[in-house]
Amino acid sequence: MKNIIDYVGAYGGHTFEDMPFNRVDALILSQFSYLKLAGFVPFDGSYENSVTIEEIAKRDDVSALFSDERYAKNNSDLFYAMAASARFSHVRLSNFIDLKSSRWEMQFSALTAYLTEDTTHVVFRGTDESIIGWKEDFNMTFMTPIPAQVKAVDYLHYAAERIRGTFSVGGHSKGGNLAVYSAMKCSDLVRGRISVIYSQDGPGFTKETLAEADFEAIKDRIEKFVPRSSIVGMLLQTHEHYRVVEARSIGILQHDPFNWVVEDADFVYRDDVAGRYVISDEAVNEWADRADPGEMKVFVDKVYSVFVEAGINDLNDFKDNAATFMAKAGHVLAGLDGEDRRRIKAVLSVLADSVKDQVIKSFTSD
């Protein structure tokens, strides 16, 4: 089964002038945004004041792009395939921003890709390997908006000022959520210039967010894709129409864009999300909807504190500190006061009830 790297090899000879930008290209740029682009891509730039992928590839320090060791080989293979192709080598990149804040519990990154003088795509990075980024994702279940969503709206306005004409926007995982959120909350003038919004296994939104945002104005321009074993993309999924993509591996591993199956310049599609994952997805969504926000916050904060006390800043640290993490987890749990214990027990109780309800529904439905 072929993936996005194979796609670049097969269609890399086609420029964007003779083969228009498509949904597979959008996923490729979403994955590209996970590279460590700080120092490689400028922040303030127009089409003329930018850097090409080919130019980045010629730098002596190019290997620094692949410092996330979990995906180093795949990211490297994809990057060099793009740099060697007529399709991607001359893509111009600018307006790169990468922010992390423990104080604001935010992880945010975005860039602008000028594919031709008239074709531009704004990319929001999804959750990276940082623990603060993962905490922000959990905050999404009880906080509206999260800081990255607010920053995404600011960024979209900033980028739009430097883009000629219409443009598309997209992202993978949390990046897909940010793409949709920024399109809902931006000004009418900017929103009117957005041609399509790609959400690649991006989580949905709380009822409060949908109630206050202009979802109706953009819903027909959203192209949401989830893998067959989708877990992330089905979180808070209530309004967005989506298509199901065939993917290699199982469960959460299908979230990885390198596992999405590509054929004939498009994804391979399935009829629906696998049934055994629908139960867990609906249970988690019901949990997020029913749990008390204050209790959810305590629950997430306590889990995060275990990572902090264990000295784990990103997922690459975890494999070397698993034993320390478990010891610290026991220490934190033992030190909880009565109220915190009650709150955490309440959150876990709602989760257990939600799972039970969904299992019962699955056996009693027609």
Residue 154 phi, psi (nearest 5): -60, -45
C-alpha 323/C-alpha 329 separation (Å) is 10
Closest C-alpha among 243, 199, 251, 253 to residue 221: 199
C-alpha 204/C-alpha 234 separation (Å) is 7
SS3 284: helix
Rama region for 294: left / alpha / beta (φ>0; ψ in -120 to 50; rest): alpha
Per-residue pLDDT at 281: 47
pLDDT, block means (10 residues), the chain with 366 residues: 96 96 98 97 84 98 92 96 98 96 91 94 89 78 87 97 96 96 97 97 82 87 88 63 88 87 95 57 58 71 70 64 65 68 59 49 50
Q: Tell me yes or no: is domain 4-279 CATH 3.40.50.
A: yes
Q: Which two tokens stand for residue 109?
A: 């990154």
Per-residue pLDDT at 231: 63
Contacts of 349 by beta carbon, 8 Å cutoff, 6+ apart: none
**Using an 8 Å Cβ cutoff, are 346 and 352 in contact?**
no
The greatest distance separating any two alpha carbons of the chain, rounded to the nearest whole angstrom, comes to: 66
**Using an 8 Å Cβ cutoff, are 230 and 259 in contact?**
no
Query: Tens digits of per-residue pLDDT, 286-301?
Result: 656 666 777 767 777 7
DSSP 59-83: STTGGGGG--TTSHHHHHHHHHHHH
Residue ranges of domains in the chain: 4-279, 291-364
